Structure 1
Amino acid sequence: MRLTAAGDSHVGLRRAHNEDAFLLLLEERLLCVADGMGGHASGEVAARVAVEEMAEFFSLTGRDEEATWPFPEDPRRGEHENRLIAGVKLANQRIRQRARADERLRGMGTTLVTAWFSDRAPEALVAHVGDSRAYLYRRGVLAQLTEDHSLLNDFIRVHRPSAAEIDAFPHKNVIVRALGMRDDLEVDLLRVPLEEGDEVLLCCDGLSGMVPDARIAEILRGARADLPRAVQGLIAAANEAGGIDNITCVLAQVHR
């Protein structure tokens, strides 16, 4: 399976600096989007550490088949699933270490959504922590793959509120899981079967919180698999909607 991809990040219209980061590591078929938090420059540091550690870990383990990782493997999972989860946990460990070593970085954290694409089977593994999302776009239809780790999503799942109650919910931006929050990190992982021409979108909430899914699908449809054009169109749409946050997205398409 062959993979093409494009990605970009924009500070938005309201923020002074960009606390997002993204990764296109095509030689290892790995994509990431991280949305940092913590204020000042610490969110930016956490996001950058996350994607840099993912890149280093996958590059190392991709070159060395005998390489091991510093976490026990789950026997219920396959090798690639364990590898992806280990990379995320290692990134969490590095962020925690940096925060303990530097008082200015205390409390920093980041969301992370990452996808690894198999070169043998038509499928991807998606791991995520926080409210950055993964979507699958197939034959004109957009489907959300991940479930936000946020107070808002917990509220929706438990109470099944009306649209008005969702709009009035006071803690929309509070996430309940992120890299940097705790040593024992829980990582959600799913296996996504893929078909020829499928597109996988990874994005932060600066896009998904500003642009409805129907509009995202419309932009992808209009781009006609021109991935850089689609990415710029998505960022422009988020800014047109107010651009209140940093906007980052990565878009990949699979080919047999």
Structure 2
Amino acid sequence: MITANRSDIGRIRLVNEDQAWVGQQDGTIAIAIVADGMGGHQAGDVASQLAVQTFREALAGRELVIDDGEAAHHVVRAIHQANAVVYDMAAQNEQYHNMGTTVVAAVADKQRAVIAHIGDSRAYKIKNRDITQLTNDHTLVNELAKTGQISAEEAANHPRRNVLTRALGTDKEVEVDVQTLEWAPGETLLLCSDGLSNMVSEQQMVDTVQAGGLNLDAKAEQLVELALRAGGDDNITVVLLYNDADTSKEQEVRIT
């Protein structure tokens, strides 16, 4: 498994409230998470940091087996633990009142991947020239679009398109969307905050990920650069997981 992880503050924001982390367990399973914090006075920054840190700690030392559903169980449990930590911090500190964060996470071996998310940070799978959005945005506008109240074009340009219907840390209990899917050598998983997905088209994502002559780090850098060129209105974070059949090319970062 080859991985890349890039984040940028963007051109407008004063603080990067995005957090991301990628690691590998025993050289065979990749683990990744992206969190996009929200809340005033840098509370979003605190929320996303706490979420990623708690998620990492919850999975550290766990033996993750994807094909029997165990990994999905542990991922959801780790996100629920992160929700409790962020919620408790907000309840105990007035300056963090109502802080929260989105989260999208992946645990993948060479054959299958578990994807879990809350909010509007996304996961995509790229295969050849095809791209599939794996996550469903938990936003007011997406709910309106799904029920036919507004069109897809209206949703893309709606002034309230960033209003979340579900977030980590804002409520004592939260529902996590989780799925397990098959993926194969040569395919790529892309996790990102909306600072990327709102500014970079799916076609641009495919073109960049499938571009020849660039390693995975350079492709992640290029995706961030595309979002910056489009305006960089928000923090931008992207994680790439490439299913490479050649294990000699793996770049491993172990959980600590």
TM-score, normalized by the shorter chain, greater than 0.5: yes
1:24–1:31 Cα contact (<8 Å) kept = yes
**1:162-195 residue CA offsets vs partner (Å, 9 max, x unmatched):** 4553355331110111101211110000111011
How many matched pairs? 240
Q: Please say if 1:193 is aligned against 2:191.
A: no
2:41–2:95 Cα contact (<8 Å) kept = no
Q: Please say if 1:80 is aligned against 2:71.
A: yes
One-letter amino acid of the structure 1 residue matched with residue 217 of structure 2: P
1:164, 1:140 → 2: CA distance?
23
One-letter amino acid of the structure 2 residue matched with residue 32 of structure 1: I
More helix by proportion, 1 or 2? Answer: 1
What's the counterpart of residue 62 of structure 2?
61
1:195, 1:106 → 2: CA distance?
43
What's the counterpart of residue 232 of structure 2?
243
Select 1:181's aligned residue among 170, 193, 209: 170
- Higher mean alpha-carbon deviation, 220-229 vs 94-103, is at 220-229
User: 1:81: how far off?
Assistant: 1.4
What's the counterpart of residue 9 of structure 1?
7
Q: TM-score, normalised by structure 1?
A: 0.89
1:129–1:187 Cα contact (<8 Å) kept = yes
User: For 1:218-237, what aligned pairs fall within 5 Å after superposition?
Assistant: 218-223=207-212, 226-237=215-226
1:186, 1:231 → 2: CA distance?
30
What's the counterpart of residue 96 of structure 1?
87
One-letter amino acid of the structure 1 residue matched with residue 106 of structure 2: A
Q: Please say if 1:209 is aligned against 2:207.
A: no
Gaps of 5+ in 2: 246-256
Q: TM-score, normalised by structure 2?
A: 0.89
Select 1:146's aligned residue among 117, 135, 139: 135
1:25, 1:163 → 2: CA distance?
36
User: 1:94: how far off?
Assistant: 0.5
1:215, 1:160 → 2: CA distance?
29
Q: Please say if 1:24 is aligned against 2:15.
A: no
User: 1:161: how far off?
Assistant: 3.2
SS of equivalent to 2:102? strand
SS of equivalent to 1:45? helix
1:165, 1:32 → 2: CA distance?
30
1:193, 1:16 → 2: CA distance?
39
Gaps of 5+ in 1: 66-76
1:33–1:250 Cα contact (<8 Å) kept = yes
Q: Please say if 1:37 is aligned against 2:26.
A: no
Q: Please say if 1:123 is aligned against 2:112.
A: yes
RMSD: 1.9
SS of equivalent to 2:115? strand
